[in-house]
Chain A
Amino acid sequence: MTTHREGTFVEGLWVEPAQLSSETAPTVAEVGCTSAPLESMAFHFASFCKKYNDDYVKCKNESQDPKHCLKEGRKVTRCALDLIGKLKENCDAQWTKHWECLDMNNHTLFKCRKEEKEFNDCVFKRLGLTKVIPETPEGATPIHLKEKPLYK
């Protein structure tokens, strides 16, 4: 947005007065996690909600209009809320430790491998999800499983 400038004499932030009417969009609650928890559960979300995510991406590829993909978006949101509930119930301590570590380290994943390993083990044990990095070449260990990632 090249036309944006910082406001001078700012007196608060804009709050939208109108709500979505219930005919166009029955509201589903928004996901209440900020960036660090979302980043640490991102790969598990990808495998847990794969079909809804693929639907939404295919729908978005058809058109960029926000009104076009509201239904698929709501399904994705419901699946995400479901997963967050399950994580809080089962693996809350490990998840919290991992995202707090990410928070202290500029949200870089490579600094927090130990906590990530504990979190992934807990999630695999309780929920059966593994973290899969989509485009690893055949036969190469994914980077989060390498013992010495800095060596060739």
Chain B
Amino acid sequence: MPHARQRWLVPLEPLFPLLVIGAVGTVMRWGVAKYQKYENFGKPKRWSVDRWDRRMMERDSRLTGNVNFQRAEIEAPQAFLTNSAWELERPFM
């Protein structure tokens, strides 16, 4: 019985589905990046945040109101001298 002839040397048939998967993956990554930028006022999310970064970000939020805003003034606003990041909890139970 003769051997069946191979159709193509390089498999071109799965190329189109791979392109579809690649396109879907790219759209997904772009979408997630866009959503994170929307949540973080136009900047990518901070990642690998350690204790130092957390404490600096807390200081940032006390200076400017939100961790995503930066300011480069010489002196701090007066409210900075007495504000804090401690949450006031309404007593319950």
Residues of A within 8 A of B (CB): 6-17, 19, 27, 29-37, 81, 84-85, 88, 95-96, 99-100, 103-107
Inter-subunit contact B76/A30 (CB<8 Å): yes
Give the contact-size bracket for chain B: 20 to 34
A81 touches B74 (CB 8 A): yes
Q: In the bound complex, do residue B88 and residue A12 qualify as a contact, i.e. CB atoms below 8 Å apart? A: yes
Instruction: Give the A-B contact count at a CB cut-off of 8 A.
Output: 103
The yes or no answer to B26 lying at the interface (CB within 8 A) is no
| Beta-carbon contact of A33 and B72 below 8 Å | yes
Residue from A31, A34, A37, A95 within 8 A of B69 (CB atoms): A34
Supposing A8-B89, A107-B53 touch, asked if A14 and B84 sit within 8 A by C-beta, the answer is yes
For chain B, residues 48 to 75, give those with C-beta under 8 angstroms from any C-beta of chain A: 48, 53, 56-57, 59-60, 63-64, 69-75
Contact sample, A vs B, 13 pairs, CB 8 Å cutoff: A10-B87, A11-B90, A13-B88, A14-B84, A27-B81, A29-B74, A33-B73, A34-B60, A34-B63, A88-B74, A96-B72, A106-B48, A107-B53
